[in-house]
Structure 1
Amino acid sequence: MIIVTTDFVPGKEIKEFKGLVRGSTVQSKHIGRDITSSFKTIVGGEIKAYTEMLDDARKKALERMTAEAESLGANAIIAMRLESSTVMGAASEIIAYGTAVTVE
């Protein structure tokens, strides 16, 4: 599966538009991570536990989007975007979306 953020795939011709595809996941904070991370906010620096959690969430969202595109018979996704939002105080949604297409 080719995934690009542009509206075209360089060197390829779009043959068919399959439609919008998306994948998302909602991740919540772990109480143990929260306690450890609260100490990190005092001294500053990267909160690695959250970096890893959000990285895993992005991977899940991309995998789900790709699976949806494959189910439509697409071999590429153009104009792919990633967004995040807060669902509630302790949970965030990561969503990946784009346009599924076939290219040659």
Structure 2
Amino acid sequence: MQEVIGSTPIFSTKTRQTPVGFFCLSTMYYTYIVFSEKLDKFYVGATEDLHRRMEEHNTGRSPYTKTGSPWQLVWSREFKIRSEALAEERRIKGKKSRKYIEWLIDSAGKAI
């Protein structure tokens, strides 16, 4: 696009140049499973910040998990696209199976 002279365009008409060697850190998304020994229950969720989310689970800021503290992160999977992390969360929850969740954790080779 060429620069327009004498007008006030809504969008810039100048071409932006990206510096050589510049890279953008992209946000990663996670599907995760936490476990409460106190309740003997798993919780499956998705987030873009695992550290913050674990803090929320363990400080009572998450309504469903506030009574089960401490929660331990036992499995997670990383995604580049939010919708994929959410789809994985729905897929795991859709199994409605503790055995499946335990298999998923075991098949990962180790607890996180």
TM-score grouping bracket, smaller chain normalisation = under 0.3
Q: Which one has the bigger strand percentage?
A: 1
Higher RCO (CA < 8 A, seq sep 6+):
1
- Decide which structure has the larger Cα Rg and report it: 2
Normalising to structure 2: TM-score of the pair?
Answer: 0.26
Normalising to structure 1: TM-score of the pair?
Answer: 0.28
